[in-house]
Structure 1
Amino acid sequence: MMKQMTTMMALAVAGSLTTHAATYELDLAHSTIGFSVRHMMVTSVKGHAKEFQGVIEFDSENPTAMTATAEVSVPSIYTANEKRDDHLRGADFFDAETYPAITFVSTGVEGDLPDLTLHGDLTMKGITKKIAIPVEVLGPVVNPWGATVIGLEGQVTINRQDFGVSWSKALDGGGVVVGDEVKISIALEAVRKDN
């Protein structure tokens, strides 16, 4: 009897020490997924996605167990120039009709809060490549409306040629119209689903 009670107490204590990851969904009103790329080798064109969604599983007591998935709508890509946006959505660049989404699925996390590195698979135009995004994770905090929120901010540089986004033209003086390196920046706010 004593042995059974001891075992039950041990299980109870272990259970009380076990933490569970909470599910957070991106708040699009307070989140941005943007990009910038060199144009004519002298300036940068910046844009962002108007439509995207994502889910983060996060436990502040076990941050390296965090998982994240995101999907960006390619037709929603916006650079404040309609002609350029139509070109970006076309076959020369993203081919939105054939590949309407860009996705990211995390595969692992390393580091210590607030600075983590999020490893994962980025898929664009049907091509998947592994990337590592250094992110700062903030929170969780409770906002004035009683919802628990977290934030992620980070930036990563990719080569668009790796994903088959290859259109460009050479300049007479050297260089190209559109650079190969694309800086992707994220500033995400996510709300705990059980709020």
Structure 2
Amino acid sequence: MTTLQSVTETPLQPGVWTIDAAHSLVEFSVRHMTVARVTGRFGAVDGAVDVPADNPPAATVRADIDVASVSAGHPKRDELIRSADFLDVATHPVITFTGGPAVPAGDGHWNIPGDLTVKGVTRPVVLDTVFGGVISHRGAIRAGFSAVTEISRKDFGVTWSAALDSGGAIVSDLVRITLEIELVLTRS
């Protein structure tokens, strides 16, 4: 398996690599009542990585996340996350990320700078990314990536908050986003 540590240019051959939603994961976590971590995931993600033939290291990424597909382990919590108090799925049904190209960050990591749009607000973020490799199986060429970033939810207009009796907030401002993405070469 090829790793980014041994690759000086993009490990993906030129073409369009589509996100395989059945084998990809977009997860988030926040602190709840300052003492525990609550996680959730979005079940529907769509997008692609475009690797240009004339300059493969200039690859770009686009991903769309269906906000209604959120699942955080409890139906009432899911309703709250979808509500106008949090992600406002009725008005902003999609979270988007556009970014690239990747920049080597050492020790097998690559930084993918880009723009994240949540609830109609766009802010720059950097995905700390590790390449999982490329494999061919049953006629399909696949690649995998793991990535993580942290954002302030308030920077994106997600400002609902309630104070605890002992101080602190019910839901932390800091949100950790974790991605496990599998791609399929769909056009070369």
Question: Do both proteins adopt the same fold according to a TM-score greater than 0.5, normalized to the shorter chain?
Answer: yes
- What amino acid sits opposite 2:130 in the alignment? E
Distance 1:40 1:181 in 2: 13
Of residues 113, 120, 127, the one that matches 2:114 is 120
Normalising by structure 2, report the TM-score. Answer: 0.87
What is the aligned partner in structure 2 of residue 27 from structure 1? 20
Specify the SS of the correspondent of 2:76.
helix
What is the aligned partner in structure 1 of residue 87 from structure 2? 94
1:133 aligns with 2:133: no
Offset at 1:107? 4.2
What is the aligned partner in structure 2 of residue 16 from structure 1? none
Q: 8 Å contact 1:157–1:183 — kept in the other structure? A: yes
Q: 8 Å contact 2:13–2:56 — kept in the other structure? A: no
- More helix, by proportion: 1
| Aligned length in residues | 176
Distance 1:48 1:179 in 2: 17
Tell me the alpha carbon deviations over residues 21-80 of structure 1, each in whole angstroms, 9 at most, x when there is no partner. Answer: 221111111110000000000001100001110101247x96631211000011111112
- Higher Rg: 1
Offset at 1:138? 2.6
Q: 8 Å contact 1:63–1:112 — kept in the other structure? A: no
What is the aligned partner in structure 2 of residue 45 from structure 1? 38
**Any gaps of 5 or more consecutive residues in structure 1?**
1-18
Task: For CA contacts below 8 A with separation 6 or more, give which structure has more relative contact order.
Answer: 2
Determine what percentage of the aligned residue pairs are the same residue: 37
1:1-195 superposed matches below 5 A: 21-58=14-51, 64-111=57-104, 114-143=108-137, 145-194=138-187
Distance 1:68 1:103 in 2: 10
Offset at 1:189? 0.4
- What amino acid sits opposite 1:160 in the alignment? R
Distance 1:150 1:107 in 2: 17
Question: Stretches of 4+ moved more than 3 A in 1?
Answer: 61-64
